[in-house]
Every structure is written in structure tokens, then in C-alpha cells.
């Protein structure tokens, strides 16, 4: 509970004694490039294979001739939109971006760079962390959309190249009984996950004490805590919103 209390105080400190809008604008753009553009290839790669594997495994399980083939792509769509794109990508995001945020802030802490900002009269938490959170809130939903598209593309390639189903069947299944709300649900999840990962990782990094070993420990804790928070939030959101 003490840790949760410190986390809430940390979140509160992000919005007091802020710098100018121009300062945050530039920092947020830099973070968007750092965490968004530089992550996109990994997300595309993982999600494409994820879609391809889902297609093959779903097809392998649907052996009954009574089940039409387009159900395979329908399953791929539902799995991708509801769970794989937001949640699995959140876990990858925690591993790649969360650990980087925590490690970066931890290194700044132990090399007194954060103290240097404080001595200059700058609210270091707000200056360093707020742009990371805002950039995550902007970029992660976009990454989830890209991942969802790539996953369905991966499924299409795997399904058609292995002749499990025809392109027409795949597209039909993707469009069949589509519930638009699931997209909204996935985006709500992505925003919540982005906030949790960026804020928890930053919190862990910002309060690092010690040396290089502790920076590594902070990064590991950041990823572990973020993933646990994402999984709990995933369950709660599914319970509340579906």
C-alpha cells in the first residue's frame, strides 16, 4: 500500500509546477519518435506472425466439415481485435518501451541528472515523465491498430498461401457479423494499458537508488509490475465493458 501511495503522489507531482507548453510539445514529439516510430517494425513483425499462427492453429482445430471455412478468419479477427492486438502488444510494449523508460530514468537518477534538473528549479518528474505518458497515450493505440491490421494480413497470407481457405472466404470471414464496438473496446484497452505501462515504468525508474545493478533491477520490476497491472486491467475492462 505504501508503494501505491507513493505512485499516486508521483502521478500528482506530474501536473504541478509545469514548464511551458512549447517545452512539452518538443519533448512529446521526441518521445513519440522514440517509442512509436522506433517500435513499429517490431510490432508489425510480431503481429503478422501472430495472425499467421492463429490462422494455422484455428484451421487445425476446425476439422468438422459442418463448420464453414470462413469461420477461421472470423476467429482470427475476434482474437486479434479483442485480445491479441491490445494485450499481447501491451506485454511487448512493456518489455521494449517500459524497460527502456525505466532504465533511462534510473540512469539519470544515479548519475545525478535528475538532481541537476531539480537544482535548476525544474519539476523533474513533470519534465521527464509527462511527455513519456502523453506520447504513450498517443502512440500505443496507433500501434495497436497497426498490429491488428498486420495480424489479419498475416492470417490472410498464411491462410491463402497454404490453401486452407480462399481469399474470398478469408475476407468474408473477416467481415462476417462484425461488431464495431469491439474496436472501441480494443482502443479503450490500449489507452488504459499505455497509461499503466508508461506511468509504472517511469515511477520505477524515477525512484531508482544505488548503481548500475539497481537500474537493471528497476527495469525488471518495471516490466513485471506493468505486465501484472495490464493483466488485471484486462480482466476488469472485459468484466465491465463487455
Partner 1 sequence: MIKINNISKSFADKIILNGIDGEFDKGKTNLIIGSSGTGKSVLLKCIVGLLHPDTGNVFYDFRNFTEADKDMKSEIRREIGMLFQGGALFDSKNVEENVMFPLDILTKMPKSEKIDRVNFCLKRVGLEGVNKKMPSEISGGMKKRVGIARAIVNNPNYLFCDEPNSGLDPQTSIVIDELIMEITHEFDITTIVVTHDMNSVMGIGEKIMFLSKGDKLWEGSNHDIMNSGVKELDDFVFTNKIMKNLKHGTV
* Minimum distance, C-beta of residue 121 to partner 1, in the bound complex (Å): 3
Contact region with partner 1 (CB under 8 A), list: 115-123, 136-144, 185-193, 210-218: 115-123
Best CA proximity match to 203, nearest among 86, 98, 50, 115 = 98
38 scored as a contact of partner 1 (CB under 8 A): no
13 scored as a contact of partner 1 (CB under 8 A): no
Best CA proximity match to 141, nearest among 95, 92, 193 = 193
Q: Which three cell numbers stand for residue 223?
A: 516490466
19 scored as a contact of partner 1 (CB under 8 A): yes
Q: How many residues bind partner 1 (CB under 8 A)?
A: 16
115 scored as a contact of partner 1 (CB under 8 A): yes
Backbone region of residue 176 per phi and psi (left: phi > 0; alpha: psi in -120 to 50; beta: other values): beta
Q: Which three cell numbers stand for residue 65?
A: 466439415
Q: Whose Cβ is closer to partner 1: residue 19's or residue 178's?
A: 19
Q: Whose Cβ is closer to partner 1: residue 16's or residue 161's?
A: 16
Contact region with partner 1 (CB under 8 A), list: 105-113, 164-172, 200-208, 223-231: 105-113
Single out the residue of 6, 9, 23, 235 in contact with partner 1 (rule: CB under 8 A). 23
Assign 3-class secondary structure to 76-117.
HHHHHHHHHHHHHHHHHHHHHHHHHHHHHHHHHHHCCHHHHH
Q: Whose Cβ is closer to partner 1: residue 112's or residue 236's?
A: 112
107 scored as a contact of partner 1 (CB under 8 A): yes
Best CA proximity match to 85, nearest among 154, 135, 30 = 154
6 scored as a contact of partner 1 (CB under 8 A): no
235 scored as a contact of partner 1 (CB under 8 A): no
**If 0-12 CB within 10 Å is exposed, 13-18 middle and 19+ buried, where does residue 85 land?**
buried
Contact region with partner 1 (CB under 8 A), list: 49-57, 80-88, 109-117, 202-210: 109-117
Best CA proximity match to 226, nearest among 90, 29, 56 = 90
Best CA proximity match to 136, nearest among 193, 83, 88, 220 = 193
Q: Which three cell numbers stand for residue 35?
A: 517509442
Phi, psi at 64, each rounded to 5°: -70, 135
* Minimum distance, C-beta of residue 203 to partner 1, in the bound complex (Å): 19
122 scored as a contact of partner 1 (CB under 8 A): yes
Q: Whose Cβ is closer to partner 1: residue 23's or residue 162's?
A: 23
Single out the residue of 121, 177, 180, 239 in contact with partner 1 (rule: CB under 8 A). 121
Contact residues toward partner 1 (CB under 8 A) are 16-17, 19, 23, 107-108, 111-113, 115-116, 118-122
Amino acid at each position: 500500500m505504501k508503494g501505491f501511495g507513493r505512485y499516486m503522489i508521483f502521478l500528482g507531482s506530474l501536473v504541478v509546477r509545469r514548464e511551458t507548453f512549447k517545452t512539452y510539445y518538443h519533448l512529446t514529439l521526441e518521445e513519440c519518435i522514440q517509442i512509436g516510430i522506433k517500435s513499429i517494425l517490431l510490432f508489425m513483425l510480431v503481429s503478422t506472425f501472430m495472425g499467421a499462427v492463429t490462422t494455422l492453429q484455428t484451421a487445425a482445430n476446425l476439422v468438422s466439415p459442418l463448420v464453414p471455412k470462413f469461420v477461421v478468419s472470423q476467429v482470427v479477427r475476434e482474437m486479434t481485435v479483442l485480445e491479441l492486438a491490445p494485450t499481447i502488444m501491451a506485454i511487448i510494449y512493456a518489455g521494449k518501451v517500459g524497460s527502456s523508460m525505466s532504465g533511462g530514468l534510473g540512469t539519470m537518477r544515479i548519475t545525478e541528472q535528475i538532481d541537476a534538473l531539480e537544482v535548476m528549479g525544474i519539476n523533474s518528474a513533470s519534465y521527464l515523465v509527462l511527455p513519456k505518458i502523453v506520447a504513450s497515450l498517443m502512440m500505443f493505440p496507433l500501434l495497436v491498430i497497426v498490429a491488428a491490421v498486420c495480424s489479419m494480413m498475416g492470417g490472410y497470407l498464411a491462410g491463402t498461401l497454404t490453401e486452407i481457405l480462399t481469399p474470398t472466404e478469408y475476407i468474408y470471414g473477416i467481415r462476417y457479423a462484425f461488431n464495431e464496438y469491439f474496436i472501441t473496446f480494443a482502443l479503450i484497452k490500449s489507452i488504459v494499458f499505455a497509461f499503466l505501462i508508461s506511468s509504472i515504468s517511469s515511477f520505477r525508474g524515477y525512484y531508482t537508488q544505488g548503481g548500475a545493478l539497481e537500474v537493471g533491477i528497476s527495469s525488471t520490476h518495471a516490466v513485471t509490475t506493468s505486465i501484472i497491472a495490464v493483466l488485471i486491467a484486462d480482466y476488469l475492462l472485459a468484466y465491465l465493458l463487455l
